[in-house]
Structure 1
Amino acid sequence: MSNLWPWLAVAGLGALHGLNPATGWMFAAAWGVRSSDRAQALRALAPIAVGHAASVTLVAAAVALGLGMDRMVLQVLAGVLLAAVAACHLVGRKTERKRTPASHAGLALWSFMMSTAHGAGLMLVPALIPLCMANTPAREITASGSLTLALAAVGVHTAAMLVVTSLIACGVCRGFDAGGRFFQSLRRKAGSTR
Structure 2
Amino acid sequence: MSPWLMLAGLGAFHGLNPAMGWLFAVALGLHRESRRVMWLSLLPIALGHAASVAVVVAAVVALGTIIDHGALQRVAGFLLLGWAASHAFFGHRHRVRVGMQTGLAGLGIWSFLMATSHGAGLMLVPVIIPLCLAATPARELTAMGSLPVSLAAIALHMAAMLAVTAAIAAIVYEWLGLALLRRGWINLDTLWIIVLAATGLGLVI
Instruction: Using structure 2 for the length normalisation, give the TM-score.
Output: 0.65
**How far apart in 1 are the matches of 2:36 and 2:159?**
18
Contact 1:33 1:176 in 2 (8 A): no
Unaligned runs of 5+ in 1: 90-98, 180-194
Q: Which residue identity is paired with 2:54?
A: T
**How far apart in 1 are the matches of 2:110 and 2:20?**
8
1:28 aligns with 2:25: yes
**How far apart in 1 are the matches of 2:37 and 2:168?**
14
1:185 — aligned with what? none
Tell me, what secondary structure is at the counterpart of 2:136?
A: helix
Equivalent pairs counted in the alignment come to: 155
**How far apart in 1 are the matches of 2:25 and 2:100?**
14
1:59 aligns with 2:56: yes
1:161 — aligned with what? 161
Instruction: Using structure 1 for the length normalisation, give the TM-score.
Output: 0.68
Task: Deviation per CA, 1:73-108: give whole Å up to 9, x if none.
Answer: 9x8xxx9xxx8x87xx9xxxxxxxxx7432112211
Over aligned residue pairs, what C-alpha RMSD do you find? 3.0
**How far apart in 1 are the matches of 2:126 and 2:33?**
41
2:16 — aligned with what? 19
Tell me, what secondary structure is at the counterpart of 2:102?
A: coil
Contact 1:24 1:107 in 2 (8 A): no
**How far apart in 1 are the matches of 2:110 and 2:7?**
22
User: Whose radius of gyration is greater, 1 or 2?
Assistant: 1
Q: Which residue identity is paired with 2:35?
A: R
By how many angstroms is 1:27 displaced?
A: 1.1
**How far apart in 1 are the matches of 2:16 and 2:115?**
13
1:44 — aligned with what? 41
Q: Deviation above 6 Å: which 4+ runs of structure 1?
A: none
**How far apart in 2 are the matches of 1:168 and 1:102?**
22
Unaligned runs of 5+ in 2: 66-71, 180-205
